[in-house]
Chain A
Amino acid sequence: MDEPMVDAPGQQVKVTFTTTETDLQLPETKRQLLVPADIRRYGLSRILNSESMLDTGSIPFDFLINGSFLRTSLQDYLVANGLSLETNLTLQYVRSLIPPVYEASF
């Protein structure tokens, strides 16, 4: 088989996860990850909660980049800050204080 994955992915960006929550630390080998560039908070939460990551079920997470909460897609964040897909974004995850809002897309 030439291509093991069926769906051709869209653009990706490399992120590094960090947290100060002592009970929610990722092992060092899982902290860097390529994610779809159009991902938002909800999609990132799903990834962190997944079995191969924290395996925590459905904790809603918020993400901080350089001290401010991510409220757009990563792609939009990069564009707004004049950054390219070559950038390695550090995402600090925290338990969300806002009750989980159903977002139209993730």
Chain B
Amino acid sequence: ATHLTENGEQEKPLRDYSEALEMWSNFQAKTQSLSQSLSSQLRLILTPTQSTKLSGAFRTGKRLNIKKIIPYIASSYKRDKIWMRRAVPSKRSYQILLCVDDSSSMADNESHASASSSSSSSGRLALESLVMVSRALASLEAGQVGVLGFGTDVFVAHSLTDPPFASSSHDAGARVLQRFTFRQDGTDMVRLLRATIDHFRDARLTQAATSSGQDLWQLALILSDGLVQSRDHARLRPLLREAMEQRVMVVFIVMDDAKGKGKGHSVLELKEARFGPDGVPVIHRYLDTFPFPYYLIVHHLEDLPGALAALLRTWFAEVNS
């Protein structure tokens, strides 16, 4: 079915609705326990813990602020706010964008063996992960979840302000899965990062207008086979710095399906050949120039909850130290 958008643009064909609905229910049933495991690990991370830091200057408190002692004496004991208190941790809320690679490298496109068995591909693993993670986040009820698709361009499959994915109705989920057909003939990661940063900037402003005193946590999870044109690696670095300055965390989850591929076909093993000025070929490991500081390689869906939670814990420890 070909659709026209409001702007009259021709839209890409969609996956059949009933097929998408069946996929969502199957994936949700299949990943239910993983989803629960992820959500309980994330709840621990998101729940504000008692701050161990003592700070501030008060008339009464837990411990003396040494820096205030000299001014206290010098002022003839008038400037008496010399005590530190435990800071009250602020409540955390999140906005999470799940960015799913819709390019055709995600499908089984080994040469032009056209009979693609969608049972084993990075695309299928990405969609299963999408269902698992979005269900885990929905059950936390602590923030907003959006879904972006990317390939040669970027599209919004589920907006941050759309209602969350409910466990009872699979309609919203099915509408998201309909958008992913893995037929885009490019993987423009530069465009994705630009769109993600802009999206989060707008979302932060909207959030700030409606609530206050909350510690907003913005996270982009990129679900992709990791195959990006190497010449884009250098162009991604300034964008990743910009994301960091905006306090947007970007985690790249490399879908490296172990079932569908034979030995030696992992992105971990992938090399690239370039010719030096003397025409001599030089061979490097592809991941050596991969620009994402936080990335996970997932061979099996079961690996994802633990690995993702561990990475987010590490990151939280870093930003809060």
Nearest-neighbour CB distance to chain A for B281, whole angstroms, equals: 5
Residues of A within 8 A of B233 (CB): 3
Q: Which chain A positions have C-beta within 8 A of B274?
A: 5, 7, 9, 36
Question: Is residue B283 contacting chain A, with contact meaning CB distance below 8 A?
Answer: yes
Check B264–A85 contact: CB distance below 8 A.
no
B residues near A16, Cβ cutoff 8 Å: 110-111, 265
CB of A73 closer than 8 Å to a CB of B: no
Q: Does B78 contact A (CB under 8 A)?
A: no
- B279 on interface, CB distance cutoff 8 Å: yes
Does B52 make an interface contact (CB < 8 A)? no
Cα A36 to Cα B283 in complex, Å, equals 12
The answer to whether A11 touches B109, judged by C-beta atoms less than 8 angstroms apart, is: no
Using Cβ atoms and an 8 Å threshold, which residues of chain A touch B227? 14, 86
Task: With both chains docked as a complex, state the minimum distance between the C-beta of B205 and any C-beta of chain A, in angstroms.
Answer: 31
A99 sits at the interface (CB 8 A): no
CA distance A8 to B289 in the complex (A): 12
Contact A84 B111 (CB under 8 A): no
A89 to B184, alpha carbons, bound, how many Å? 17
Write out, one digit per residue, whether chain B residues 95-132 have a CB within 8 A of any chain A CB (1) or not (0): 00000000111000111100000000000000000000
Q: Known contacts A3-B289, A28-B262, A34-B270; is A86 also within 8 Å of B111 by CB? A: no
Give the contacts of B265-301 with A (CB-CB under 8 A).
Answer: 265, 269-277, 279-281, 283-284, 286, 288-289
Cβ of A90 and Cβ of B269 under 8 Å apart?
no
Which A13-58 residues have C-beta < 8 A from chain B?
A: 14, 16, 27-36, 43, 46-47, 50, 52-53
Contact with B along A90-103 (1 / 0, CB 8 A): 10000000000000
User: Chain A: how many interface residues by the 8 Å CB criterion?
Assistant: 40
Q: Is B229 an interface residue (CB 8 A)?
A: yes
Contacts A50-B281, A86-B103 given; indicate if A28 touches B112 (C-beta within 8 A): no
Which residue of chain A is the closest to B108 with respect to CB atoms? A88
* Contact between chains at A28 and B264 (CB < 8 Å): yes
Q: Residue A34 contacts which of B271, B277, B281 (CB distance < 8 angstroms)?
A: B271
Residues of chain A contacted by B59 (CB below 8 angstroms):
none
A54 CB to nearest B CB, Å: 12
Q: What's the minimum C-beta distance from B111 to chain A, rounded to whole angstroms?
A: 4
User: What residues of chain A have their CB less than 8 Å away from a CB belonging to chain B?
Assistant: 2-5, 7-12, 14, 16, 27-36, 43, 46-47, 50, 52-53, 65-66, 81, 83-90, 106
A-B contact list, 14 entries, CB within 8 Å:
A3-B234, A8-B234, A12-B229, A12-B231, A27-B264, A28-B262, A35-B272, A35-B273, A36-B274, A47-B283, A50-B280, A84-B186, A86-B105, A87-B109
Beyond A14-B270, A46-B280, A85-B229, 6 additional contacts (C-beta under 8 Å) are: A12-B272, A31-B265, A33-B270, A86-B105, A87-B104, A88-B110
